[in-house]
Each structure stands twice: as structure tokens, then as C-alpha cells.
Chains A and B, each alone.
Chain A
Amino acid sequence: MLYAILCYADEETVFAWSKEEEAAVMGRLYAVQEPLAKAGKLGPTGRLMPTTAATTVRKGKDEPIVIDGPFAETKEVLLGFYTVDVETLDEAIAFSKQLSAVNPGSTSYEIRPFYVFHPGAVPS
């Protein structure tokens, strides 16, 4: 089953990390991903730029309107994602728990199974 693991956290806190803190956290997160990557179970992962770089297209009266900023204004925002191809939900949960353990932030990991529409379009 393909799962997307969506990371939600308070943006202001995460972007207040110093360069050293950031590097240390990223290093630990990377170490957690490595076994999965070696087993060929890790798909594309990404870190989202700050929400200030986001643009939203919304349904308008006549034609869609373009709005600066993220879709929803909430304290916890989507800051990154992993995609994994694992046998069971337990495996995805175990992976997320490992990520959570090495991440000092109050990040929540939402595990969402997904369908692939265009298999060829996504490099894995």
C-alpha cells in the first residue's frame, strides 16, 4: 500500500531553528529514512518552503481566483511529506514513530493512503 506521511507543525517555531539545530534534526531524520530507502520502500519526500511562498487557486464567481498564501490559516501547517510503499499500516506507523522520536518539534504525522493516477509521472 502507498502511504503519504504528511508532517504538520507550527511554522514559526520550526523556522526559528538555528542553522546548527536544523542540520542536527535533518541528519537524524535522514538516518531514520535510510533503511526504508535501502529496502526500496521510500518514494519522493519533500520539505515545503514557508507558507509565505505559497499561492492558492480558489473557485471564484466567474473564473478561479488566485490568492497569496496557504489554503487555510492555521497555526499547524503542512511543512513536509514522505511517500512510502509498505505492506501494512503498522509499518507506516512504526516509521512515523521513529521520525517523531528524533524530531524535537511538536510535529504531527498524518498517515494517508493514496492512489496513483499517473505512475509514470512520479520519479520514485
Chain B
Amino acid sequence: MTDLAWIDLALTAARPQAMGALLRYFRDLDTAEEAFQEACLRAIRTWPDKGPPRDPTAWLIFVGRNSGVDQIRKSARNTALPDENLLSDLSDAEAGMAERLDSSHYRDDILRLMFICCHPELPATQQIALALRIVSGISVTQIARAFLVSESAMEQRITRAKARVGKAGLPFEAPSAAERAERLPPVMAMIYLVFNEGYSAGADNSDVASLCDEAIRLARLLLRIFPGEAEIMGLLSLMLLQHSRRDARQTADGQVILLEDQDRSLWDRRQIDEALALLDKAIRHRTPGPYQVQAAIAALHARAARAADTDWREIELLYQLLEKLNPSPVVSLNRVVAFSKVRGPAEALAMLEPLAQALDGYFYFHGVRGALLVQTGQKGQAREAFSRAIALARSPAEAAHVRQELDKLKEELQAS
């Protein structure tokens, strides 16, 4: 790695805290962003010669704050140009500053920065775009590439999101413990949205796939400032477990490989180990939540050396718990799948019936129903279900997968 690449990493790592502090100071997103940008430029100019400061984040906040104040003064044509000496020697100021920074504001600054990106009026895509731009500092060009839209369209989307957030008023008072607790669920949901955006894209678009890494980084950051929150441990564990299968869940030409057919030696052991450690920590708290339960389900898959070793009975129980915590027809559908492995396809089909209305427009419902009908030998109905699934598929890979099932069925019918 070159010097500059290293500085780039340090700037990325410092960004959420530095931006959070500058936002608290200037109370305006654009001013905070410009100030941070200016501080980064100065870092790139001075760090290679002088060496990186002991606390890069404190340095960036200090320099950013001064340059932001300069900017405000200049635009107000208020006083004479600011004294450059203020910025020339930071080494003395740094020690005291670092101490102040490490204290109380740190976690509320980062939480606020994340929280404003999940304003309830913002649609999911805008939340993700805003978080990637504001919290992660990913360039508009890169975000646009990930969402397959033009740069100007993405620029507009982010500007609109910022305007909406600004109009709603940013929450600058230090939050109470209750307010802090209220802010966590939407922030976790936003991080999971970022992850899913990357996950659903598959491996062929690396700009999108890197969103998974970014979501994991944000969750680690959130957990570091709220180390005792079991649901954040659950969320991080869940994402690591899903991400650990990245290299195993698609063929070279982009076809979906189902969990039970994946080559488990391709799963990332390191991510699995970290995820299991986090889940162990979370369970100690005895405050189950949806992320922990989903992580526990994913962990049971990760623990099975072969698909046949999967503990479906336990998975079915966990889906029951998830149904209680987070009732939704999709969760019930997943429970049916686990149930079918334990009790067989006929009982599972009966369990599926009441979900038909709610999930009629859902690809997976018809896919699951088709697979169960194949198992009970109702091939005509199975074919209908698969055709319906193909019509509802959201990606060519999904459609191709069901088409394979349909072809298999045809071959069997012809053979008999």
C-alpha cells in the first residue's frame, strides 16, 4: 500500500466520527461535508511530509471546524481573512483536544449521523443512498454505479433526500436514554437495507457487492459505541453469516445455488467464527429480538457440515419464535419450509394454504408450493405453481432457477 492509500483508509475510518462532530458544530449537512472535505485535502497535503497525527480523527475535526468557520466568515464578508497560524501547528492543541473528543459526544454524534439518514419520510432507496454518501463517504459516482442510474440522477436523489431531512429539522439536543434506544431500531434497519442491496445483487457487480462490506463495517461501528446491545450483535452476526456464503451461492454464470446444494467448503470460516462468537455473546443477555433469532437460524445452517446434518427441528422452533416477535407471512412461509423437512410435504402444504392470499404475488411462495407439490406427486399443480413463480421472478437468475425445476418435471412426465 502506498502512503496515499494508507491515508485514504485512515480518512475513511475517521469519517463517521469526524462528520458527526462537524455536523453537531455547524448544524448543517452541507457545511459539515465541505468542512470535512477541506480537512481531508489538508491531510493529504500535510500528512505525507509530517507523518500522520497521533489521533487522525481529532486532527480532522479540529481542522474541519476551523476551515468551516473560515468559510462562514468569508461568505458573511464579516471580518478579515482568518489567521493561518491558527492551523499551522496543531501538535500542542492535539493532546487536550483528543481527550475532549473521546468523551461524551462521541457516540451520540455517530448515532445522530446515522439516524438522520433513516428519516421515516425517506423511501428505502434514498435512505441507503444518503447513508452511503453521508456516513460512509462513498462517491456519488460509485453509488450511482451500484444503483445502475446516471450520476446526475443519483446526485439529484441525494440532494432531495438532504433537503427533506433538513426541512424536517435535525435532532441536535443530546438524546435521552429513551430517545437513544428509539433511534437504534431504524438505524439497524437502515444498515440491513444497505446489506440487502448488496446481497441481492450477487457477485457480478462488485460496486454493489461491496455494499455488504460497508454494512458490516457500519454495524461493527454501531456495536462498538453500544457494546451491550444484543440486537446489534445479532444484526452483525446475521450479516456475517449471510456474507460468509458469498462465494458459494452462485454459479460462474450467475445461477442461484440453493443453500442445500452449496459447496460448504467455500463458506468463509473466519466470518462464521466471528458470527458465532457474537451470537454467543448476544444470547447471554436473554433479550431475544428478530435479528438474533435470524442469526441463530443462519448459525444452525453454518454449523451443519453437510446439508443433511441441518437441525430443522430447532430451525422450525426459531421460526415460531420469529413469528411471535415479528409476525409476517414471509416469516410464516419460511417456517413452513422448515416444517416440511421435519413433518413432510403433505402437512406443510396444509400449513401453506392460509398464506395463499397474502403471498399470492410473491415469487418464493409459488416456488415453495411447487417444490412441495412435486414431493407429494401432484405434478400438474406443481407445474402451475412453478409457472406462476417464473412470472413473478424479480431477476433472471430467480426465473432461471425455477425453470430448471420445471424442466425436470417435464422430463419426468415424458419418461413415465
Interface residues of A (CB under 8 A from B): 10, 12-13, 15-18, 21, 24-25, 49-53, 55, 66-69, 75, 104-106
Contact = CB atoms under 8 A, between A and B. Distances in A.
A23 to B, nearest CB: 12
Residue among B9, B14, B213, B274 facing the most chain A CB atoms (10 A cut-off): B9
A60 to B, nearest CB: 15
Contacts, number: 54
B6 A53 contact: no
A88 B269 CA distance: 37
Residue among A12, A15, A18, A21 facing the most chain B CB atoms (10 A cut-off): A12
Interface of A is mostly: mixed
A49 B277 contact: yes
B278 A15 contact: no
Contacts of A52: 220, 223-224, 227, 233, 236, 278
Nearest to A17: B9
Residue among B55, B221, B233, B281 facing the most chain A CB atoms (10 A cut-off): B281
Contacts of A10: 10, 13
A28 to B, nearest CB: 10
15 contacts: A10-B13, A12-B14, A12-B221, A15-B217, A16-B9, A49-B273, A51-B224, A52-B278, A53-B281, A55-B281, A67-B228, A68-B233, A69-B228, A75-B55, A106-B52
The 3 A-B residue pairs with the shortest CB-CB distance, nearest first, are A69-B227, A12-B13, A104-B1
Given A13-B13, A49-B277, A66 B217 contact: no
Contacts of B236: 52
A115 B278 CA distance: 32
Interface string B265-291: 000000001100110010010000000
B103 to A, nearest CB: 11
Residue among A10, A17, A66 facing the most chain B CB atoms (10 A cut-off): A10
B107 to A, nearest CB: 11
Contacts of B233: 52, 68
Given A10-B13, A13-B10, A16-B217, A66 B227 contact: no
Interface in B3-44: 5-6, 9-10, 12-14
Nearest to B221: A12
B274 A49 contact: yes
Contacts of B213: 18
Contact of B9 (A13, A49, A69): A13
